[in-house]
Amino acid sequence: MIRGMSYPKGVFYMDREHIAHATITKDGNIATTLLPFGTEGLWFFIKRTCFTLPIYFIVGLIFTTLWIWKQPGFPFYFLLLVGFGYHFVFPYPLKQYHGAEHKVFSYQGKKTMEALEAVRSSNIVNRNCSTNNVITFYLLFLLGYYPLGGNGAACLGLIGVWAIPRFLKPIDQKIIFPISAYFQRHVTTVEPETRHLKAALLSYISLNRKEAVNEEMLLEEQRMDKEKLRLQKLHEERERILKETEYLEI
């Protein structure tokens, strides 16, 4: 199974063997990386995602952690509220990458650079988006806060994030996902630009091919394929003419 993840500087796609990454560099080019799903790949993933978090979120997380330690009741649930709440305050570039990631998943045809416009028109909502988990957590937290208190409601939310998609699928499909789809359309994603779509496609193609690819490489391959097809048609035409000539001579 292929999974995807976006962050403010790029997009990842991964399976059980490899991690593919694409980012837009300062000069506007797209750089891709393919690493094995091991220590090297996971460390690269952690560095790119954790060390590019926006300052406002890091400050908020630090402030919340320090505040919790000073409270007698140790209300750790505030830390979870901040962590899950990051989805609602995504930086704009992350929303663009997020939308591009979803559109690549939604497109049912072969993922190629030639399919860029078809990918652009694909659904920006993804059935397996992490927004589902965020909605699950907050719904159960709100429902459980009065009888269980903050920490108990947070535990209920965490249990629900794990259990509902596995054992209570009707709730997930009929309640959680419709709410998640709304937030995906209006809060956690925006329509990506062409460069974000290209980055997502190049990351996905790199994972499929098990090699880091760039747009220039794919365009050259496309040119060579067209030239090969042209030469093949030319050869077939020559063969046809030769056969017709032989027939006339006979």
Closest among 12, 104, 84, 3 to 52, alpha carbons compared: 12
CA dist., res. 188 & res. 181, Å (int): 10
pLDDT computed for residue 226 by the predictor: 80
The strand pairing partners of 5, in sequence order, are 12
CA dist., res. 165 & res. 34, Å (int): 30
Could you tell me if 97 and 192 are in contact, meaning their C-beta atoms sit under 8 angstroms apart? yes
Same structural domain, 247 and 172: no
Same structural domain, 206 and 242: no
Same structural domain, 53 and 151: yes
Could you tell me if 30 and 198 are in contact, meaning their C-beta atoms sit under 8 angstroms apart? yes
Closest among 100, 123, 99 to 188, alpha carbons compared: 99
Distances (CA, A) of 109 to 63, 78, 208: 46, 43, 14
Same structural domain, 166 and 228: no
pLDDT computed for residue 220 by the predictor: 82
CA dist., res. 242 & res. 234, Å (int): 12
Query: Largest Cα–Cα distance of the chain, in whole Å?
Result: 105
Structural domain including 183 reads 3-212
pLDDT computed for residue 246 by the predictor: 61
Could you tell me if 223 and 56 are in contact, meaning their C-beta atoms sit under 8 angstroms apart? no
* CA triple 228-231-235, angle to 5 deg: 135
Question: Each residue of 144-182: pLDDT tens digit?
Answer: 999 999 999 999 999 999 999 999 999 999 999 999 999
Q: In what order do the strands lie in the sheet with 18-24?
A: 3-7, 10-14, 18-24, 30-36
pLDDT computed for residue 12 by the predictor: 97
| 77-112 core/surface letters (b: 16 or more CB in 10 A; e: else) | bbebbbebebbeebbebbbbbbbbbbbbbebeeebb
Residues in the chain with pLDDT values less than 50: none
Same structural domain, 186 and 246: no
Same structural domain, 189 and 78: yes
Same structural domain, 171 and 230: no
pLDDT computed for residue 250 by the predictor: 54
Number of domains in the chain: 2
Same structural domain, 183 and 229: no
Q: Is 72 helix (H, G, I), strand (E, B) or coil?
A: coil
pLDDT computed for residue 101 by the predictor: 97
Closest among 121, 79, 130 to 100, alpha carbons compared: 121
3-state SS, one letter per residue, for 150-174: HHHHHHHHHHHHHHHHHHCHHHHHH
Distances (CA, A) of 222 to 85, 88, 160, 203, 227: 44, 41, 48, 18, 9
Same structural domain, 231 and 110: no
Same structural domain, 8 and 29: yes
pLDDT computed for residue 76 by the predictor: 92
Question: First and final CA of the chain: distance in angstroms?
Answer: 62
Same structural domain, 156 and 247: no
pLDDT computed for residue 238 by the predictor: 82
pLDDT computed for residue 215 by the predictor: 86
Same structural domain, 168 and 241: no
User: Which amino acid would we find at residue 129?
Assistant: C
